[in-house]
Structures are given as structure tokens and as C-alpha cells.
Structure 1
């Protein structure tokens, strides 16, 4: 038998024949599947499925997939793979010799003559096999595919794909990935997502827009996703680590909600039968806070520890503390924490000077190492470098006070525990037996507590000889009883407040108690102003501070009387030094100004003025009078000058200044009414002022010179704006006639005896006349401009007169008392009614009244009906106040 593979060119012919049979068999079996797939692809490529709704596109895909499977199964059943022998048979039947079949035969008689004959026959057959060609299957194709679908279907797909080449990929992707969830109600799903930054950052919540730009939020923010869906969706968070799946929980409202914490850059996806929403979130890291010393701690003359610090943080510092350790006990010794006050709520960057009283600390007088520690809202801490200094110790001059202080620190510096008590055995609990170990607790106390108890016994020996203040003796006796009854160091430490107050009483007497109350009231008011407390709470603490200040003044005066009007003791709680320049009524004015600042919301100015008032009270000193026997010259609330003793020149200048002040107030009221009329608002009744302004200004000045008054104290002029403006012009003309022509004028517009420059008054009168003419013509805009011009000129003129009056008083006081002499107020300053504002900046009455008027106007407009946007704006303004 000859090998067919040895015949050159025969095997490729067999393979091509077999391939033709395979194609023919595949078309016969899978032509329905090809038609079905072609129809779907044509629909997808032509965009027919894009125009349909998501629901129809999903149905079309399901129909395609549902029809695809049975057609594939049907085609597979019908398909029959061709075999090699079939291809050989089709090739062999082309020749009558049947060379391929004959070559597979063997000779019947393999003798020598037969073999030679067979070889010659095999050669003929081989030649015949080489002449064979691949058969033509045209007839079979016409029978199997009479419509030439094998050419038409690929051509249609190719043409459609070419025509939609730029969008073919997107259309096929949408065709094979429609929104399957639309079949189950996905179009009714509503998804809301927002991120809430940590509270300490002070940032508002961020609402996420679907498929929007990346959103940057602080690390540690809380993500909240809420979905209205038929069933719970899935929340997938993809970050630097493996994806995290967060389960939705059902809310009482019937929605689904999921929460997660964003700590790193993440991609968020919500899926429900496909992706429903996605967001990209970038997390900003929260760096630890930083703090440093600007100046190292040092002791001030008032025994306070003063230093300057600086801190920074991304979102604000929550706490600032001073960490103290004793240098003689090593770095592992227990630390003491002292809280420091910050200038505001969670400052991001601040640099302040801290002045704290550490004289009451148990380590006072010892060397300590200190580090500043800051803590932000996330709980992260930062430390400064180490600073070594000696804690200031309270300067006590009285021997009894020093002894009490030694007892106190001996107790506080004892850190050892009490010795344990062995339980009594049953045999010892018999009748008439006493278990003394359970009652004699002082014997189990550590050495420091026992030594303090012995010190109290030594100090209280012979009280009738050494104690003038019975309260101090009884207080020490009570402290000794507490030590005897204490069973732990914590109970023994409870004597600290008692011993501290006894030491101060032994040193200073009752004034120290009043000073502590004053400092506590100041701290409470400062905290209320700093933390933005309610108006009622601030007013309550303001009244407490006023009462504490008055009590402190009374205690210091009583102390001065007891000492024969000599200066009070030089102690750190009430140091001498005297204030700088405060007249007799300045103390009441400062308290009134502080009340006005707290009411109008000027927190920073109020805190500064509060500190100035407290410092002046702490520096209060009393001195003897000038020998007139009239008590305390210059006491707070006492007038420094009398109108009868005032020189004629000063009195006339004061009267002129008062008239200008009244005129300025009337002109400002008229300006406000004109502006209100121009805006179409309801203007106030002519001649009436706001209640606050009447009480504030008329309460000071009493009757208004040059103006008619009604029974209620208000100006009785009534009429239109034009008439009122004309009346003001008449007042200026009358003032010029009564004052301006009484003498020559000086360069600054004033003359001797309180005269006023005639040209200045004429300029004011012209501006007012022009304003009246504009009002009569109905030109409010021009009237307002002239009114403002007149107001500015009146104010400038009044300021010039006020400066001249101050100069006259200062000159007179210098001549009368020299450098101050002995006539000083309780703060150690020269009397005379003038005030030096270099140290204390008190807003004048006009500024405070104007701030009150603005606040009242904001409240009135907030209560009037207005659109929501304006109401929100006014609410934000009121919150700032």
C-alpha cells in the first residue's frame, strides 16, 4: 500500500477539500444563528437600540440572549464535522481509476513477476492522483444557500460598521450593557450623598454631585449615602487598599442608609443592578498641631509666670496646656498639667502672651521643666521644646502666713501612700477590746502628712498669745482634724483650699477674699465673651463682675481706714503703683463702657477693657489727703471740679460745646429720617429719638440748651423734614449771634471765652439752608449730601472745642496743684476730672450709642416681614453681635 502523504501536493488538496466540506456543513447548520446575530448587530450599530428606552434595550438584550442559546444548540445538533475519508472520496471520484482508493490496495500474489507489475500499476495510479483537483461545491452551495446569505450578511454588517465607525464601539457597549435595573424600577431610585467633616475642622457639609469633579475633604470625614430603592444597594469604596463594601441599613422612613469614614483618596460607587452613582473623594490629611516658645517663662514683679507662645494647626487647637515636671525627680516622674487660656475658640494660628499665677502650685519655689502641649479636635498632640525655670512662690511677709504656707506645701508634696491596715483576727474582737489601729490613722500616714500634723500642733500652741485673728486659729485646728481623720493622701490634700485662704488672711486680711472674688468674676466674664455665650448669660456675669469690683473697692477702703489712711500693704494680690490718669467719675464710666461693649457684641474690645479695669483695681492704692480733712480726695464717683469753682472761660466753652453736641444729635436724627424717606421706609416721628439714645444722651446732659422741650424731655419740634431742617438753621444762626460775635476768633475757629468762629457757623448754616431748599424741592439725594456736609462741620467744630477745653483744664490743674501734689485719687493719679486714655481705651458715648442703635435697627428689621434671603443675612449679622 502506498502512503498518500508521499505523493507531492496531495495532502494540501485533501485539506482544502475538507475545509470546503466544513464551511458547507457550518452554513447548513448555523445559518439561522447567523441571521439572528446579524439582525441584532445591525440594530445596535445603526443606533436603533440607543433611541429606545433603557427598559426596551434591556428587553432586546434578553431576547437576543434567549434566542441565541437554542439556535446555538440547534446548530450544534445539525452540524456534522467532515472526515478525511470524505475528502479523499470526493477527490478520488474525479478519476475512473480511483487512484486514491487503489493506492491503498495490496498485490494479491507478491511474487517477483507480480510485484513488478504492481509497481508499474502503482506508478500509473500515482500520476493519476497527482492530477486530481479540489472538487467544485457550487451545486452544493446553491442547494444549501440559494439566497447567498453567506455573502449578504457579512456585507451588511461591514457596511453598517463602516458608516458608524466613530461610535460603533459605544453603541455596541450600550447594546450589550443596558440598564438591566430599569426592568425592576431603577428609574425610581433616588440617591443622596454628603460628607460631614469632623466638627473640629469647622467646615460645612459637602453634598456630592453624581459623576462630578473630585471633592476634597478633611481626612476622618463621615460619608453618608441615603437611597430610595426597592431593595438595599451596595456601597463600594475603592482606595489604596482592597475595595471595601459597606452594607446599607433600613431607616425608619423606609430608605436605605450607609455610613463610612473617609481616611484616604477614594472612589465611591453605589450599585444596584449596575452602577447608580459614583464619586471621587480626595482626603486632606490632618497634620498634628505645632506649638513653640516665643519667650521662655519668667517671673513678673507681681509673682506671675509670663511667657509668649505661638501655635498653628490645620483646623484649630482645642486645648493648650503647660506640662510641668520636677527636674530633681527625672523624666519619668509624674507630670502636672496646667490649662492655659486661648484667645478664641479653636484658633488655627495664634501668638499670645500668657500671664498665669502659679504661686498656688504645690511645686512653687522649685525648679521645674516645662513643655507646652497643644491638642487639636482630632486628638492629636504637639509639644514644644523644654524650658527650665523656677516656679514663683507667693511672697508672704507675716510669720504666721509663712508657717501656714509651709504646712500646706508639706502636705501637697507628699506622694507616698498610707500604710495598709492588717485586718483584726477573730480572736481580738472580744468584749471590751478596742481596735486602735483602725482609728489612729495619722500613725499610718506618710512622713509628710505626719510632719504637717506636728507643725499644726506647734503653730496652734498657746493661741491666746500668738493669734489675733480667731478665724485663723479655728481654721488651722480644723485642718489638723482633717489630717487626723484622713485615710489617704487625697483626703489630706483636701486641706489645701483651707490652708491657702488662711495664709492669705493671715497676710492680708479680708481684702484678699474680695480680690479672689474679683478675679473669679473676671475669668467668668472673659470665658463668656470668648465662647460666644448668650446675651442673657453675658449680662448676668457682667453684673457679677460689677458687684465684685464694688466689693473689692469697699474692702480696700476699709483696710485703708484701719491702717490710718496709709497705703495698703505691698502684696502681689494688690500691688502698689497707682493707675495712670483716671478722674473721679472714670471708674463708673469704665464700667458703663464695658457694659455697652458686651451688649453690642464687641467681644475683643470688651475683653481688653475688662483686663484694664482689673489691673487698675489690683494696682489700687490709697494715700492721705491734702490735709483738708475731707476724707479721700479723688474717690471713684466723686466729682473733681465744681461748676461754681470753674473759671468763666471754661464754663462758657463747656456750654458752647454742649449746644453743639445737642445740635449734632438733632442733625443726625434728621439725616436718618431723610434717608428713610428716600428708601420709602416708615420714618420716625419728628423730634423723637430712639429710647436708648434719649436715655444715653439726655441722661447725661439733662436739658438741652437752645431747644424747646416737652414734658417727657424730648424735643417738641414737629413738622415736615423741610420745617425741621429750617429750624436747625435758625438754631445755628442764633448760636452765631449769641456766641460768635462776643469776641475775636482764633486760628482754630474758637475765640476767648468759648466763642465760635463766625465763618464756620455761616458755612454750617449755608449747608443746612441748602438742605432745606432741596427737601422743599423734593430732591432728597441733594438734601442728604448737604446734611452730611453740615454734620461733618458740626462734628469737627465740636472736636476742636473739646480739645481746647481739655487744654484749659490741664493748664489750670498744672498751675493749681503743680505736679499733682497730694490731691490724688485712690489709684494714685492727680485729680482734676480729666482722663488719660493712653492705657485704657474707652469708647466715647457717641460710639457706644451708635453701636446700640445699629443693633436695635438690626433686630427691628429682623422682626419685620422680609424675604428669606434678607432674613438669613440679618440673622448672620445678629449672630456676630
Structure 2
């Protein structure tokens, strides 16, 4: 430059300053152009982030359910790749683009800025061309003085003509201010579950349900009484239930067994909806744990211990069973077993296992297995005591065989107990008729070996080959030929078993006649009633079974009496301690069985039915003898007449009391102005007086019947004492008072008459005993009931069942009240379901 002209040096200096300013201007234009390209591509990402921040600060993510929160968060996450893809299209401006940007902004033609950085394409050896190019650059440089880079132009208004981006910015400011308040959210809310904050506080109920057979009530662990208790003693096989309603579902239940290893208890699966097959949101979460050994239970919530319980489990002891007496049989051959069963909660079932000592022949084909003998169970909760079971096995083909008998008992936990084994001869029914005895023997041979069928056919042919001399009754001959035909046609074992059963019916018919059918019907009716009581049948079913039993009982007693008349040997008792059972005794027992069964007292009804069965098994009918025995029956008839008089007088007294009570009620209504005459169900004074006078005739009839009874007693050598006279006098006075419609006076006189009749009856019994008419000459037989127990009164009649076994009238009434109250609570729609479940278990408990 030292060789240059001063003017040229000044021009070079000017161009240097121009290019230096252009470089600064080019940098500004480069930044402006880069911003114009970056901002439209960065704005979507910023808007997505801004909306996310706005929603977080407004607490939207915290208020949304987890499913909606996760869905919205997923949308934001999926939008990020789209925004990044748009941003990746950004590229930086190059040198030429910057020059064009400056030329466009400053409205320069001929590219004066681009020329400054260009070189001449011609040869450098051409001085003229070079000078000309330099002059051109100088002139262009003069034009670019004072250039501007211009403002950025992002084209955002074209993309968002409504200016919604400003709304987002405004919401961002508002959300920022809102986030500082108590309801404001946090940026991390979108990534956390907020069900705990939105859920209702968890309600936790826990209870232990002992096995039903224990009879123990549930233990409510979370009740106010047990809230502070941590140690509980429960029966083995109890079930712990923990129910959680509400909460956030983070509750956990763990159990620790004696080995010390804790294990988490899974939630019992709840019912699922049909639409999404998912548990309902408000469905309670149940945890069920079977308590079979000592167990510790812990309930935690988010790692925090909520409750802890420790359970000591009482083991279920195995039952025991033993004979209290040797096996025996009743008069009619019914087997009787006396035994004792003990168990901590009562046995569930018991049976007698029978095995035949003498094994069957090697080539034999028996048709029947060992008999099944279910045993009666003692009442649950009873502390031991003897229990008795009777079973008529005389029809079984093993009857008369030597057997081994073992008692088995099983409790509800399936634990079994065995008694000692007794050797005994199974009782059999004796047959006095030779023909019946022959049929029974052949029946036994066929039942023990079906292969003996040809021999039995030959034997039947031999028996019936000369019926004129061996078989007096033609119906018996026809029955034997019927057996032979059935046996000949029988092919299968089932058909042979039918023949065996038919042979028993024929033998019973030959021996007893119609009595065998009556006894069979009676046994079937007893068994049907026993099963109905065992199965807790409805009162209508019990009433139907009782009607069938009464009908069968009447038929049996009638047939038994007819047989006694046909057989003179039965006219006298076979031993001096013969026991007697009257029809009124049977009716009284049947009525009590029906009442107990309808009230749900299953154990008492079954025991009473068993006692009735014992009476029938030991029953021996006696017929009246001539002379003294005939006179004894007449005395008994007079006692029955006296009892009927007392019953009628009691009914008369009850009716008088009812009418007098209505009169008193009417007077109370008149005095208190609580009602009016003629009200429905209330008789008027005139109607009451007329009804009282209507009883006068019946009272007079009672007085005349009493006089007739006194005359009959005089004719039989018994002098009625003054009490009968006093009773007749009181009856006459009551008749007069009824005629005067004086119910109050009549009631007193009727009561006096009833008391006098009782006293007169006692004196009459003493006179009968003195005359030897009540069994004094028969070893005090008249003082024993059909079970051999002393009678409760001096009348020689079976007065009542064991009062230690049956509940009294007050107990029965109380039981009815309890049952009515339970049913009332069950019918209340507002009663809690848990209470209803417990009451239903009380009704079904046995």
C-alpha cells in the first residue's frame, strides 16, 4: 500500500469500513433470519409445555381419576414426538441467504451486498477488467451505507389469525398465581396417583365367625367393647373376615403362623360387572383367613400398622363313645343300645357297625349286607349322659346270628371315635306257628345264599304237596304257592330280594294276621315323623305326619286288642309286673310331640318319640277277666266318667268367665267414654245375660250326671263321701246363679264344685285301692308306667313324661316369644344385613 496513491488509500480505507459494518449487519440479519425460521417450529413445543403447566398449576391432574389422569398424560407424551419432528426441520441460514435478506429488506437492486464478496471470473492479467470491477464494487459499496437488518417476520399471525396464543399466555399467568393458593397444583401431580386424597376414609370391620357346630356367637373385633383388645381365644376352624369399604386400596393384611414367617393375605375376589368385567369401584374388599392354629394378624395402610390381633386357637377335641349297658332287646325283639357320647361341641353323627362273626360260605352269594343302625345323638351342649337308641332288626336276615357290634361317632371336624366291640346275638322275632317258622327259615337260607334257590323251591313243593293235612287255612296255602311262583320267576338279585321281603310278609301274616300289617304301618309312620323332625320340616308337614301316626297307632291298638280277644292266653298277664298303656296316655304323648316339633325343640321331640317307641316295644295287652277283673274295669270306667265330669265343669267355668269378662270390659268403656255399645266384638248386657242363662241347662245336666255317678258307685260297693255331695250342692247353686245372669257368683260356685270333685275323686281312689282294684295284689303294678317308672299320681295312669327332660309351659311360652321376636327382626327392612345373617343362623341352628 506504500506504492499506492493517497486517493486510492483513502478509497481502500472507506471500503474496509463499509465491509466491517456489513459484517455486523450480516450477523444481525443472520440472527433475525434464524429466529424467523426457529420460532414457528419451536412454538408448538412451547404451547404443549405451557398447556401442561397450566393444567398442573390449576390442579386438574390432581382432581382427575387415575384413569383419566393417565389418559391425558399419555396425550401430552404422544404430542412430544410430533413437536420434535417439526423442530428438527429447522436449518441455519447460509451466506447468500443472509445477503438476499439484507437486499430485500433495504430494497437494493443489482445485489450490491452480494457483489462485495464476489470476485471477477475473468483473468487477473486483464488490468482493465479488474479496474472496471473494482470501480463497480466501489459504486455498489456507496449504496449500502446506512443499511438496516430489519425486524423478524415469523408468519405466526397467518397460522393463528385469532390470536389464541395470547390466551395461553394469559392462562399461564393466572395459573401461576393460582398455584400458590391452597387448591393449587404442582407440576408433579400428573405423575402421581391422587386416589388417596380423593377417596373416602376407609371403614374397617373385622369379625371372627366360629364354626356353626360350636354354637358360639361371632366375635366383632372392631366393636367398641373389643376395640382395645389384641388377644382373642377362638375355636379351631374359625374364619376371620376383614372388610374394608372406601380408602385408596393400599391396605394390606398379613398373617404370621407359629413358624414366624409372615405371609400376605390376598383380597377375596369381588363380583365383576358385565360391561368391563372389573370389580365395582364401591365394592368392599374382603380378606378371609381360616384360623386353624395360633395366628397373628396385622393390618397395614401404606406401610403404617393400623391394627394387630393375636388369636389363640382351641383345638377341636375328638369325640368319645362307649357302651353304658350291654346291648339288649325289648319284648317284641327290638334291639336296644344304651351308650354315652362326649364331644366338646357335640357329635355330628353316630352309628353302630355290625359284623357277622360266622363268615359266609366260600361259594355263597349273599343278597344282603350288614344292617345300617344310625344312633340318636344327645342334645348339643349336654354334659354327657346316657343316650338310647332302639332299632327293630328282627326283619333283617342276620336276626338270630352272633354278631360283633361297635359304636362309631363322628364330629363336625370329621374326627372319628370307636367304642369297644361287643359280641351279641342279634334279636329275632319268635314264631310260634310251625308254618310261619318254616317260611322264615327258608327265607334266611335264600337271603344268605342266592344259589340255594333250587333247594328252597323243592322245600316249598314239599310243604304244599298235601295241604289238606298240613295247611288248615287256604289263604296260607295260596300265599306259599305265590312265594313259589315269584321265586321261580326271579332271575336277578333285586328280584330275589323282593321275594325275601315277600316271604317275611307271608310269615308275619300267618303268625299275626292283620296285626303284622298294622305294626308295619305304625313303624313307617314313626320313621316318617322322625325324619320330618330331623329335617326341620314345616308345621304343616309335621301336622300331616302326626295325623298319619295317629291313624296308624289307632289301627295297631285295635288290631292288637282283637288279637288278644282271639287268643285266650293273652287274657292274663304273663308276669305280675305287666305294664299298661291307655289310649289317653298315647294321645297326650302325641300331642306333646307335635307341640315340641312345631316349636323347633327337635331334640326333646325326638327323645319323646323314642320313649313312645319304647312303650310300644314293651307293651303287653291284657283283657279283662271275669269276676274281680270285670269289676276292676267297671271301676276304671267310673274313674273315666269322673274325669269327663271334671273336664265339662272346667269348660263351663271357662265360658262363664269369658262372658263375665266381656261384661266388665263393657262397663269400663262406658265409664271412660272410650267406646260405644254395639261395637264390633263386644256383646251388649242383654246378650251377655241371655248367654249366661243359656249355660244354666248345661250346669243342670252336670249335676244330674254327678248324681248318676254317685248311684253307680254305691252299686259297686264304694260310698261317695261328702265332697261329692258338696260338689252337687255347688253345681245347683251355680245353676241358679246362671239363671239370674249373675256370672261372678256362678264362677265362685263352679270353682267350689271343681275342687270338691277333685277331693271326691281322691277319696274314691283310696276306696278302690282298699278293695284291691288298682293292682295292689299285683305287686304294685298299677304304680308303674309302660317304661317301668313310678307314676306321678295315685290314679295309676301315665300322667306325664319326664319333667326333667321336657320344658315346662312357661319355658314353651318363652320359646315362642323368642322365635316371634327373631322373625320380627328378620322382617324389618331396616335391620343390618349382618344382623339378619346372624338371626338366620340362630333359626337354622341345630
So what's the TM-score if we normalise by structure 1? 0.51
- Asked if structure 2 preserves the Cα contact closer than 8 Å seen for 1:232 and 1:256, the reply is no
Q: Which residue of 2 aligns with 1:201?
A: 214
Q: Which residue of 1 aligns with 2:395?
A: 360
**Could you tell me how far 1:657 is from its partner in structure 2?**
10
Q: Which residue of 2 aligns with 1:519?
A: 523
**Could you tell me how far 1:710 is from its partner in structure 2?**
0.7
**Could you tell me how far 1:385 is from its partner in structure 2?**
1.4
CA separation of 1:477 and 1:200: change in aligned 2, threshold 3 A:
farther
CA separation of 1:641 and 1:245: change in aligned 2, threshold 3 A:
same
CA separation of 1:837 and 1:265: change in aligned 2, threshold 3 A:
farther
- Asked if structure 2 preserves the Cα contact closer than 8 Å seen for 1:214 and 1:282, the reply is yes
Correspondence 1:403-442 to 2 at 5 A: 403-414=438-449
CA separation of 1:473 and 1:529: change in aligned 2, threshold 3 A:
same
User: In the alignment, is residue 273 of structure 1 matched against residue 302 of structure 2?
Assistant: yes
Which of 527, 533, 539 is residue 535 of structure 1 equivalent to? 539
CA separation of 1:192 and 1:849: change in aligned 2, threshold 3 A:
closer
CA distance in 2, matches of 1:608, 1:523: 13
Correspondence 1:303-702 to 2 at 5 A: 303-329=333-359, 337-344=372-379, 349-414=384-449, 446=451, 448-461=452-465, 466-467=470-471, 489=493, 492-529=496-533, 532-560=536-564, 563=566, 567=570, 579-580=579-580, 582=582, 619-621=619-621, 623=623, 626=626, 640-641=637-638
CA separation of 1:475 and 1:217: change in aligned 2, threshold 3 A:
farther
Write the deviation string for residues 824-858 of structure 1: whole angstroms up to 9, x where unpaired. 99x999xxxx98356442799xx999999999999
CA distance in 2, matches of 1:579, 1:335: 34
CA separation of 1:864 and 1:279: change in aligned 2, threshold 3 A:
closer
- Select the structure of larger CA radius of gyration: 2
CA separation of 1:843 and 1:483: change in aligned 2, threshold 3 A:
closer
CA distance in 2, matches of 1:674, 1:710: 15
**Could you tell me how far 1:518 is from its partner in structure 2?**
1.6
CA separation of 1:480 and 1:205: change in aligned 2, threshold 3 A:
farther
CA distance in 2, matches of 1:569, 1:501: 28
Q: Which residue of 2 aligns with 1:99?
A: none
Write the deviation string for residues 383-441 of structure 1: whole angstroms up to 9, x where unpaired. 11122122122211222222222222223334xxxxxxxxxxxxxxxxxxxxxxxxxxx
Q: Which residue of 2 aligns with 1:836?
A: 795
CA separation of 1:410 and 1:232: change in aligned 2, threshold 3 A:
farther
User: In the alignment, is residue 245 of structure 1 matched against residue 264 of structure 2?
Assistant: yes
Q: Does the residue aligned with 1:296 lie in a helix, a strand or coil?
A: coil
Number of residue pairs matched by the alignment: 566
So what's the TM-score if we normalise by structure 2? 0.52
CA separation of 1:590 and 1:489: change in aligned 2, threshold 3 A:
closer
User: In the alignment, is residue 282 of structure 1 matched against residue 312 of structure 2?
Assistant: yes
CA separation of 1:251 and 1:666: change in aligned 2, threshold 3 A:
same
- Asked if structure 1 preserves the Cα contact closer than 8 Å seen for 2:376 and 2:388, the reply is no
Unaligned 5+ segments in structure 1 are 1-54, 56-179, 415-444, 692-706, 717-749, 759-771, 773-786
Which of 691, 694, 698 is residue 710 of structure 1 equivalent to? 691
CA separation of 1:321 and 1:472: change in aligned 2, threshold 3 A:
farther
**Could you tell me how far 1:224 is from its partner in structure 2?**
3.1
Q: Which residue of 1 aligns with 2:332?
A: 302
**Could you tell me how far 1:665 is from its partner in structure 2?**
8.2
CA separation of 1:371 and 1:318: change in aligned 2, threshold 3 A:
same
Correspondence 1:38-53 to 2 at 5 A: none
Which is worse superposed, 551-560 or 465-474?
A: 465-474
Q: Does the residue aligned with 1:556 lie in a helix, a strand or coil?
A: helix
CA distance in 1, matches of 2:195, 2:785: 88
CA distance in 2, matches of 1:613, 1:284: 40
Q: Which residue of 2 aligns with 1:260?
A: 289
- Asked if structure 1 preserves the Cα contact closer than 8 Å seen for 2:728 and 2:753, the reply is no
CA separation of 1:862 and 1:282: change in aligned 2, threshold 3 A:
closer
- Asked if structure 1 preserves the Cα contact closer than 8 Å seen for 2:371 and 2:396, the reply is no
Q: Does the residue aligned with 1:555 lie in a helix, a strand or coil?
A: helix
**Could you tell me how far 1:517 is from its partner in structure 2?**
1.4
Q: Does the residue aligned with 1:353 lie in a helix, a strand or coil?
A: strand
CA distance in 1, matches of 2:843, 2:666: 21
CA distance in 1, matches of 2:240, 2:396: 46
Write the deviation string for residues 660-714 of structure 1: whole angstroms up to 9, x where unpaired. 8866886799899999999xx999999x9x99xxxxxxxxxxxxxxx96618968
CA separation of 1:339 and 1:271: change in aligned 2, threshold 3 A:
same
CA RMSD of aligned residues (A): 6.3
CA distance in 2, matches of 1:192, 1:670: 59
- Asked if structure 1 preserves the Cα contact closer than 8 Å seen for 2:212 and 2:845, the reply is no
Write the deviation string for residues 218-240 of structure 1: whole angstroms up to 9, x where unpaired. 21223333333544754322102
Unaligned 5+ segments in structure 2 are 1-61, 63-192, 273-279, 361-365, 683-687, 698-720, 730-742, 787-792
Q: Does the residue aligned with 2:326 lie in a helix, a strand or coil?
A: strand
Q: Which residue of 1 aligns with 2:136?
A: none
CA separation of 1:479 and 1:227: change in aligned 2, threshold 3 A:
farther
**Could you tell me how far 1:313 is from its partner in structure 2?**
0.5
CA distance in 2, matches of 1:358, 1:325: 14
CA distance in 1, matches of 2:313, 2:666: 51
